[in-house]
Structure 1
Amino acid sequence: MSTSPLERSLEQRLGLRERKKLKTRRSIQEHALRLFQEQGYEATTVEQIAEAAEVSPSTFFRYFPTKEDTVLTDEYDPLILEALRGQPAELSPTEALRNVLRELIGEMLAADRQRILDRSRLMLAVPALRARQWEQTRETQDRIVEALAERLGRPAGDFELRAFGAALIAVWETTLLAWVENGGEDDILALLDHGLDYLAAGCPL
């Protein structure tokens, strides 16, 4: 599988030992997603995933605490936050986030579109994954709010910042749902742009 500039950036930040761990984690995840597609999420066991990835079940659990984590885990949040902090100070929060999401999501899709679509379908279809994904999304929202608070010189608990963060996540989730519902045929970046424009305009109806 090809790697995007985003993934190479992540690898370059890691030492040799961590890069080896990342390679193993990705291998386990790839085999898990393949088995979920072939025989269904519920029918696939941790033992089957470990066997396919040629690791022991104990090794599986060192990388993924639960089967759910093979779908939910990625390494991109720190890169998103780093890119956000590096955006020009004169940009509005919406424009800064637009730049970050367009660049990073574009790179991810260029390298791994089908895998992202498969993961997204699973997260929307499996109740246990939906519940965990909600928790993770709230954590991402909190991190984005913290980064924006630093950028704007406002406290992370600021009500307006938190409301903006929640609205941003709602735009992303609506974009992702529309993309998945249409089988990944839509231009997800164009959908995201439309959602951010709508948010910036005050969501008029």
Structure 2
Amino acid sequence: MGRWERTHEALAQAAWELFSERGYEATAMAHIAERAGVSEMTLFRHFPTKEALVVTDPFDPLLAEAVRERPAEEPAMRALAEGIRQAWARIGADDVRMLRARLELIARTPALRGAIERGSDDTVAALVAALVDRGTSEEQARVAATALIAGLSTALLQWARSEQTTLDAALGAALDVLGGQ
């Protein structure tokens, strides 16, 4: 792991520690930088906003690659749903716990209402690029990726609020609907 990655991870870890200790709204960017042992300028190079510490999605490359690998004749929505289903099967238990923590924080913090939607641009862009690489027009790819992310965001927030279901069950049900099954 290089210096950039170590710093990025240290900043994310410091943020989560402080969010747990003080709450999201009571944690200032200066506190995060201090906890991580870096300047505020360094923090802002990695995360331009406090919200970005919560909504930055480390799974985008994995999701896009799985969609890109789907059969060329598969319709866009099916390729998205099945590619994401395959990618999520490779996500480890620690990442699932962190995802739940992120989503629970978003669900219970008024300042973060709409955060998933605001933070989904990079995910949509990665999925659009994957679909375009498979031969889907950019316009159709954008519609499909945006629809899929909106549906998954709803399902993931419901999952985070509920102890009743597993991530696999919540995602599976949502991807079945979104993929037309």
Normalised by the length of structure 2, the TM-score is 0.82
**2:169 corresponds to 1:190:** yes
State the secondary structure of the residue aligned to 1:174: helix
- Corresponding residue number in structure 1 for 2:131: 148
The Cα RMSD (Å) is 2.6
Asked if the contact 1:28–1:60 (Cα under 8 Å) also holds between the matched residues in 2, the reply is: yes
2: CA distance between counterparts of 1:200 and 1:56?
45
Following TM superposition, by how much is the alpha carbon of 1:134 offset from its aligned partner in structure 2, in angstroms? 1.5
Would you say the 8 A contact 1:83–1:100 is kept in 2?
Answer: yes
Q: CA deviation at 1:162?
A: 4.2
- Corresponding residue for residue 39 of structure 2: 56
Residue 177 of structure 2 aligns with an amino acid whose one-letter code is Y
| C-alpha distance in structure 2 between counterparts of 1:167 and 1:147, whole Å | 15
Deviation of the 1:138 alpha carbon: 4.0
**TM superposition score normalised by structure 1:** 0.73
Q: Which runs of no fewer than 5 residues in structure 1 stay unpaired? A: 1-15
- Indicate how the Cα distance of structure 1 residues 27 and 129 shifts in structure 2: closer, same or farther if over 3 A, else same: same
Separation of aligned partners in 2, 1:100 and 1:53: 36
- Judging changes above 3 Å, is the alpha-carbon distance between structure 1 residues 162 and 50 closer, same or farther for their aligned structure 2 residues? closer
1:115 and 2:95 correspond:
no
Matching of residue 68 in structure 1 with residue 68 in structure 2? no
CA distance 1:178–1:76, change in 2 (3 Å): same
Q: Distance in 1 between matches of 2:107 and 2:161?
A: 10
Query: Secondary structure of the equivalent of 1:75?
Result: coil
Residue 157 of structure 1: aligned partner: 139
What's the counterpart of residue 25 of structure 2? 42
Q: Secondary structure at the match of 1:166?
A: helix
1:134 counterpart residue number:
117
CA change 1:95–1:122 in 2 (3 A) is same
Measured against aligned partners, the alpha-carbon deviations of 1:79-133 in whole angstroms (never above 9, x if no partner) come to 3212221223344434433443233333334232222111112223334433443
Q: 1:198–1:70: structure 2 CA closer, same or farther, 3 Å change rule? A: closer
* Corresponding residue SS for 1:55: coil
Alpha-carbon distance between aligned partners in 2 of 1:142 and 1:62, rounded to the nearest angstrom? 21
The percent identity for this pair of structures is 37
**Partner amino acid for 2:51?**
E
DSSP-derived class of the 2:119 partner:
helix
Counterpart CA distance in 2 for 1:199 and 1:120 is 20
Q: Which moved more, 1:88-97 or 1:188-197?
A: 88-97
With a CA cutoff of 8 Å and minimum separation of 6, indicate the structure with the bigger relative contact order. Answer: 2
1:168 aligned onto 2:142: no
The answer as to whether partners of 2:124 and 2:145 remain within 8 angstroms in 1 is yes
Kindly provide the amino acid, as one letter, of the partner of residue 122 in structure 1. L
Q: Which has the larger radius of gyration?
A: 1
- Kept in 2, the 8 Å contact 1:94–1:196? The answer is no
Q: Post-superposition shift, 1:178? A: 1.8
Matched, 1:89 2:72: yes
